[in-house]
Structure 1
Amino acid sequence: MRVATAFSYQQAIANLQRRQEDLSESQNRLTSGKRVLLPSDDPVAARRVERALAVEARVEATKRAAQASLNAMTLAESALGGANDILQAIRDAAVAAGNGAYGDKERAILAQQIQQYRDQLLGIANRTDAAGNPLFGGAGVTGDPFVPNGAGRVEFWAAPGSVGVDNQEILPVAVDGAYAWDATPGLEVPIFKTLDDFIVQLRTGGMTSAAVSSAVQTALGGIDAGMERLQAARAQVGDTLNRIDAIVARLDALDLNAKTDRSNAEDLDMVAAISDFQNKQTGYDAALKTYAQVQRLSLFDYLR
């Protein structure tokens, strides 16, 4: 069998190219730190990586939804706490109004204080989140859910219920204003009606002791009912916050598991990879030397 010089050259060059490709591929893996750069490198591992990435994407989307709900519910919980404090201050003023030694002047001063508290309470009822969405907008409303009518009385203009994020986890981003404030859409809100009626009565001059006592008792009943409803809504929001914490903890565990699975599938064993790179580099150097020797193998060189 005769081996031509050209064939020897071709063999040497082909071997050199293979060695160079192997060395380049090993170098790319070392640079990226990934064992699987293409699906063809390891189809089974590539599928594991795809599944893990899909899980991570779902977890990230759900975490964003949970964060939005957490922000809204934290603001709502604070608002409900502030509303309860204001009602407590109004209640104290109402009790003071029942003082038999007070006359029209003192009751008018108390009426002014309660009016200021009432206006603060309305501001809380229409409080919004960072995006401008009403915290107590119920199932959706573009403007303030609690709106004064032509007579200055507060009415509720939103649908009962709460808005939830569109995700696997149903998490609210608004509180049911109808429940929290004991309101009916299109009608006057009971707690504000109680306060407005009481303010009018305190400003009325010449009231008898019996009339004052009756007005105070009626107001206290309405205030207590309003406080009870707000406290119940606050408890619901607290339960939601606890549920969000549990969901986030579960998502963190799921995310860690997905990242670990992806790492196991695609990450490179650096010690083994460095050893493999060194071996391939040695092989490439040997191929270069072999090619250099083949270049000198010629009949004319031999005859010289």
Structure 2
Amino acid sequence: MRIATAFRYEQSISNLQQRQQDLSTAQMQLTSGKRVNAASDDPTAAARAERALASIARTDADQRAVDASKNAMAIAESVLGDAVELMQSARETIVAAGNGAYSSSDRQALAAKLTEIRKQLLSVANRPDGGGGYVFGGQGATQVPFIESSATVPSTVVFQGQPGQIEAASTEKVNLTLDGQRIWMFGREQDGTLSPVNVFDALATAVERLNDPSITGTDAQTTVNNGLGDLDKILGNVQSARSEVGEMLNRMDGIESRLADSKLAAQTEKSNAEDLDMVDAISQFQNKQTGYEAALQSYASIQKMSLFQYIN
């Protein structure tokens, strides 16, 4: 078969361009450190890397949700700890009020102490979560969840939040708030059921009774018994809520560990799909560089085979 010089020339040009493209691609891979810089380089590997990247993004979003929940629950655990201490102090104060040797002024002094404890408990129940909301705001509250109403005597505290709790937008079930109504407005019976016993109203009733100068020792003891009964139910409920929060915090440690493992697996998959084997890449680059130089020499030789070169 007769091969024309023009065909050889075009073939040489085409080969040279291909070698140049291969060398450019190898150089780009070495510069970026990635074998796949565009989907066209390896569609299958690019798809694997994209799925891994989406998994990493989901894991990062879940981790942010866990961080927010962990912060809120840490605040809640601390707040409930404060509440338990205040209720224990209130309990001791109520017990002391049953002392038959106490005068009316002694009981009134204890009532003043209970009033202060009640104020502190209300402040604790309205503790902000640091993010513009409230720890016990339930499913959302733009204002403090517990407010005091003086429409009745003794005054009462009402929950103005939305019952329930907010969960973070995450594949893991984690809370951002707690149900303040369930924790603060109910007491836990011995069988575990909840009954409507309001800690603030229970203390307000005890304060009102102890401030009455006409009550006798027997009346004071009745006040003590009733107050202790209500307070113990409420204290049991708050302690139970604190235990639940502690369990949440422990569970989040496990969630964080799983998220870390999931992210590492996705990062490894992404790396396997698109990263470059540098040792092999350098060898390939050197081979392509040698091939390109050979193509240049071939092209130079073809140029010398024209008729004009022969005549000259």
- Cα 1:23–1:105 change in 2 (3 A) is same
* More displaced 10-residue stretch of structure 1: 6-15 or 22-31: 6-15
Secondary structure, counterpart of 2:118 in structure 1? helix
Offset of residue 227 of structure 1: 0.8
Task: Establish whether residue 112 from structure 1 lines up as the match of residue 115 from structure 2.
Answer: no
For 1:51-103, what per-residue CA distance to the aligned partner results, in whole angstroms no more than 9, with x for missing partners? 22222222222222222222221111111111001111111222222233332
Q: Residue type of the partner of 2:177?
A: A
In 2, are the aligned partners of 1:33 and 1:267 still within 8 Å (CA)?
yes
Alignment of 1:203-214 (within 5 A): 203-214=211-222
Q: 1:214 to 1:275 in 2, by over 3 A?
A: same
Check conservation: 1:156, 1:189, Cα contact below 8 A. no
Aligned to 1:94: 94
Give 1:236's aligned amino acid. Answer: E
**After superposition, where does 1:1-304 map in structure 2 within 5 Å?**
1=2, 3-4=4-5, 7-151=7-151, 152-183=155-186, 190-304=198-312
State how far apart, in whole Å, the 2-side matches of 1:290 and 1:219 are.
103
Paired with 1:263 and 1:221, the residues of 2 have a C-alpha distance of: 63
TM-aligned CA deviation for residue 111 of structure 1 = 2.1
RMSD: 2.2
* Structure 1 pair 269–2 and aligned structure 2 pair: CA distance change class (3 A): closer
Match of 2:191 in 1: none
Secondary structure in structure 2 of the residue aligned to 1:154: strand
- CA offsets per residue over residues 157-189 of structure 1, 9 Å max, x none? 2333222123332322111222211349xxx96
- SS of corresponding position for 1:118: helix
* Identity percentage of aligned residues: 47
- Displacement of 1:247 in angstroms is 2.1
Aligned partners of 2:301 and 2:52: how far apart in 1? 50
Structure 2, unaligned stretches of length 5 or more?
188-195
Matches of 2:15 and 2:129 in 1, distance apart?
67
Choose 132-141 or 272-281, whichever is displaced more.
Answer: 132-141
Q: CA 1:221 to 1:301, structure 2 compared with 1: closer, same or farther past 3 Å?
A: same
Q: Is the 8 A contact 1:154 1:189 kept in 2?
A: no
TM-score (norm 1): 0.89
Aligned counterparts of 2:217 and 2:82: Cα–Cα separation in 1: 33
Shift of the 157–300 alpha-carbon distance from structure 1 to 2, 3 Å rule, reads: closer
Distance 1:245 1:274, change over 3 A: same
Q: Would the aligned equivalents of 1:182 and 1:229 in 2 still touch at CA under 8 Å?
A: no
8 Å Cα contact 2:197/2:230 also seen in 1: no
Partner of 2:190: none
Larger displacement relative to structure 2 (219-228 or 268-277): 219-228
